[in-house]
A and B are shown apart, each in its own frame.
Chain A
């Protein structure tokens, strides 16, 4: 209120000016995130990944190497834990502002290809900015979907049973290639009885393990379009789980929930956990014990159903610097020095050059190399299960509903029904 004084034109102008300034300020901060090229031709690219502190330190070292070799490219980084990473990525991508280059996995290729987010890197490969030769075990094909190169593998990994070695030794359990689920169940009992610790952290909720179990029986978790198993299959799997939790073979789900994001094995709640073999690196930094890798139990004494999985690097379609991004990926997958820094943190390096460059000297990494070699030798590796659009939502629903079952909040029938309802929505079937 101006209380009777004549409002001067100047006042009006001042108000207008202030407003314009405020709005202008808001506008500049609003689009501050855009990476661009500066006057001297220096280009900034944004790189995001999921992982823990340990991985971040390694990656930052590799980026320093990259920036030394390519002084005109600057890399801005960002990382979160797995689930948070994808929430953030999804939001950024939908807003048209995804990172230029980011860590990716098979479960997300179709999803983000369908949403038009991923750059087809084959053009950059043709232009010579990204070498797609020199990969091990056919890994160069892993990121190809419908003839498009959507991801470049940085390492290969495989599902394994990560065990707390001293616990297994104390229980007198020695898992061998080709052991069966009956052997596994007996081992769980032994561990519980002799060490007082649960044998496993919660295998019934690990989608990738159930996938292996289904593959051992001629099925798979996914087909190209939808789920590859029936409600009664899942009811069998979870009935066994319910009993195992009750009997103390599997860790107390309540305790497991509370120590997240720390793993149940590192927190000494369980003797082992089915997860990716490269996770032993993380567990070793998290926990006090010594961790090793055991083979996946089988149904028929031979077939484990395993395949090589892989973390990849993908580029976003909206990047303004496809060439620099391709050079970045090329450097990260081929440079021998990078391999020496990363170790097996993201799996066994994908290219032969990097594989040869890093000779593990510590027990943990030696064990990972030996494990993957043993898989190749045993000839158990098979082609990967397809991951339709929506696979990631099914994975987290599977984990969550299994947890509810273990906590006694749902009966097996309810849990199965809920999972099928949610997956059908997610997969659009």
Chain B
């Protein structure tokens, strides 16, 4: 997929450190110093070279190639034919494409906030010190470790199909809507449930953020008679807003890229890849269908770049909006 995000919040810290540290510089001729430096650099690059080679061959190269394919008609077998913006105009005119955009936007708009609310809620509970704290944290984090795997998606499908656990539990309460995975309107909810269940990563980040909130703020507020809700809204939330922003950003981007769970819950072996009546056809699923089922790699590449642009725009909007709601402590930035 076009963009990759690593969960590494430490980027800012790096910039101060990146100046190479040298030992006590011996007074010597500048030429020798230069030579030594050059050799150091060379060694550095050589040590990095497996990564650099991987980046160039496996990430940068294919990305540039896909940018080129986006403007071609390419079926994998014949040489790509340059067709300009035809792929893009076909995309916009295709009702299935528009449907996939709708499904994805819905999924992002509903799934991401729910996931973050769950993450924050659990983080608030786990932030209080109690016995077995470490165990609880590990237990709540566990689903996130396995959540993205194929096997969980298969289990998920089994849980949400007709006459399975969810269906039967619903029936006990008199709700008879049947299994979710066979229902074009319901299947997307099972995907939302799956992503909410994987709240571990943002939860850990929230936890770290909550630890940073100075105790004395709460104490002072308590003295002033602020209740629990008041303290949450006026102290906790503003104080963790940078962390919240980071989580919103990461999870939004992440949600746009949902593929494997949708692909497996929606179809898997031997079926339509995108759920009944394209009910779970998120953007990347349709991209996959065009690329690998219909062998239209040019069109699929164009779709991938479109997704990249869309995600970049959303990210830009989020960054722009942070002025209004993200609170940075004096000097913390």
* B270 lies within 8 A of A258 (CB): no
Contact of B23 among A3, A393, A418 (CB under 8 A): A3
Per-residue contact bits, chain B 286-309, to A (CB 8 Å; 1 contact, 0 not): 000000111100000000000000
User: Are A7's CB and B40's CB within 8 A?
Assistant: yes
Find chain B residues with CB under 8 A from A227 CB.
none
Assess whether B184 is in contact with A393, with CB atoms less than 8 Å apart.
no
Q: Check A170 for interface membership: any CB of B closer than 8 A.
A: no
B98 within 8 A of A: no
Evaluate contact between B162 and A82: CB separation under 8 angstroms.
Answer: no
**Residue interface mask A351-369, B partner, CB < 8 A = 1:** 0000000000000000000
Which residues in B have their C-beta under 8 angstroms from that of A426? 294
Q: Does B83 contact A (CB under 8 A)?
A: no
Given that A15-B43, A403-B277, A404-B277 are contacting pairs, would A22 and B50 also be in contact in the complex, using a CB cutoff of 8 Å?
yes
A261 touches B36 (CB 8 A): no
Which B residues between 69 and 97 are near A, CB-CB below 8 angstroms?
Answer: 75-78, 95-96
Which residues of B (11-44) have their CB < 8 Å from a CB of A? 20-24, 36, 39-40, 42-44
Interface flags, B268-296, vs A, CB<8A=1, else 0: 01111000111000000000000011110
Q: Does B1 contact A (CB under 8 A)?
A: no
Q: Closest Cβ of chain B: how far from A258's Cβ, in Å?
A: 3
Q: Which of A80-115 contact B (CB under 8 A)?
A: 80-84, 87, 90-91, 93-94, 115
Which of A122-130, A173-181, A196-204, A249-257 lies at the interface with chain B? A249-257
CA distance A178 to B2 in the complex (A): 57
The answer to whether the Cβ of A39 comes within 8 Å of any Cβ in the partner chain is no
Q: A377 — which chain B residues lie within 8 A by C-beta?
A: none
User: Is A429 at the interface (CB under 8 A from chain B)?
Assistant: no
Say whether B181 contacts A12, CB under 8 Å.
no
- The answer to whether A409 and B43 have CB atoms under 8 Å apart is no
Q: Is the CB of A400 within 8 A of B272?
A: yes
Residues of B within 8 A of A410 (CB): 277
Q: Are B184 and A409 in contact (CB under 8 A)?
A: yes
Please name all residues of chain A whose beta carbon is closer than 8 Å to the beta carbon of B293 when the two chains form the complex. 83, 87, 393, 396
Contact (Cβ within 8 A) A94 B77: yes
Report the minimal beta-carbon distance from B95 to chain A, rounded to whole angstroms: 7
Chain B positions within 8 Å of A261 at CB level: 269-271
Task: State which of B40, B42, B184, B295 has its C-beta within 8 Å of the C-beta of A90.
Answer: B295
Q: How far is the CA of A261 from the CA of B268 in the complex (A)?
A: 9
Q: How far is the CB of A62 from chain B (nearest CB, A)?
A: 24
Q: Which of A405-424 contact B (CB under 8 A)?
A: 407, 409-410, 418
Q: In the complex, which residues of chain B have a beta carbon less than 8 angstroms from the beta carbon of A257?
A: 181-182, 271-272, 276
Give the distance in Å from the alpha carbon of A26 to the alpha carbon of B294 in the complex.
30
Residue A31, interface by CB 8 Å: no
Q: Does A169 contact B (CB under 8 A)?
A: no
* Nearest-neighbor residue (CB-CB) of A396 within chain B: B293
| B161 contacts A by Cβ under 8 Å | yes
Across the interface, name the chain A residue whose C-beta is closest to B275.
Answer: A257
Given known A4-B24, A258-B179, A258-B181, contact A15–B47 (CB-CB < 8 A): yes
Q: Of B49, B76, B162, B292, which contacts A258 at CB under 8 A?
A: B162
Q: A5-B23, A258-B182 known; A90 and B47 CB under 8 Å?
A: no
Evaluate contact between B292 and A12: CB separation under 8 angstroms.
Answer: no
* Neighbouring B residues of A4 by C-beta, 8 Å: 21-24
A6 within 8 A of B: yes
CB distance from A16 to the nearest CB of B (A): 5
> Across the interface, do A15 and B46 meet the contact criterion of CB distance under 8 Å?
yes
Q: How far is the CB of B159 from chain A (nearest CB, A)?
A: 12
- CA of A382 to CA of B75 in the docked complex: distance in angstroms? 34
| B125 lies within 8 A of chain A by Cβ | no
Contact B77 A7 (CB under 8 A): no
> A407 contacts which of B53, B96, B277 (Cβ < 8 Å)?
B277
Does the CB pair A418–B36 fall under 8 Å?
no
A246-293 at interface with B (beta carbon < 8 Å): 253-255, 257-261
Let me know if A15 and B49 touch, CB within 8 A.
Answer: yes
Q: Which residue of A lies closest to B99 (CB)?
A: A409
A38 located at the interface, meaning its Cβ lies under 8 Å from any Cβ of chain B in the complex: no
Complex: how many Å from CA A18 to CA B77?
Answer: 37
**What mask results when residues 181 to 196 of chain A are scored 1 for a CB within 8 Å of chain B, else 0?**
0000000000000000
Complexed CA–CA distance, A22 and B57 (Å): 14
Q: Which chain A residues border B182 with CB–CB below 8 Å? A: 254-255, 257-258
Chain A residue contacts of B295, Cβ below 8 A? 90, 94
Asked whether A253 lies within 8 Å of B270 as measured between CB atoms, the reply is no
- Provide the bound-state CA to CA distance between A81 and B270, in Å: 6
Contacts of B271 in A (CB 8 A): 83, 257, 260-261
**B292 and A90 form a contact (CB under 8 A):** yes
Q: Is B178 an interface residue (CB 8 A)?
A: yes
B53 & A418 in contact (Cβ 8 Å cutoff): no
Q: Are A91 and B162 in contact (CB under 8 A)?
A: no
CA distance A7 to B20 in the complex (A): 14
Instruction: Tell which of B40, B49, B78 touches A2, judged by Cβ atoms closer than 8 Å.
Output: B40
Q: Nearest chain-A residue to B41 (Cβ)?
A: A7
B50 touches A12 (CB 8 A): no
| Contact (A254, B276) CB under 8 Å given A1-B20, A407-B184 | yes
Complex: A19 Cα to B21 Cα, angstroms? 25
Q: Is the CB of B161 within 8 A of A258?
A: yes
User: Of A7, A11, A254, which is within 8 A of B36 by CB?
Assistant: A7
Residue of A whose beta carbon sits closest to that of B42: A12
Question: Which residues of the other chain, A, contact B53 by a CB distance below 8 angstroms?
Answer: 19, 23
The list of the 5 closest CB pairs from A to B, nearest first, reads A4-B23, A258-B182, A94-B76, A261-B270, A15-B46
Q: Which residues of B contact A (CB under 8 A)?
A: 20-24, 36, 39-40, 42-44, 46-47, 49-50, 53, 75-78, 95-96, 161-162, 178-179, 181-184, 269-272, 276-278, 292-295
Interface set of A (CB-CB < 8 Å, partner B): 1-7, 9, 11-12, 15-16, 18-19, 22-23, 80-84, 87, 90-91, 93-94, 115-117, 253-255, 257-261, 393, 396, 399-400, 403-404, 407, 409-410, 418, 426
Q: List 8 A-B contacts (CB under 8 A).
A: A12-B42, A81-B269, A90-B76, A94-B77, A255-B178, A260-B270, A396-B272, A407-B184
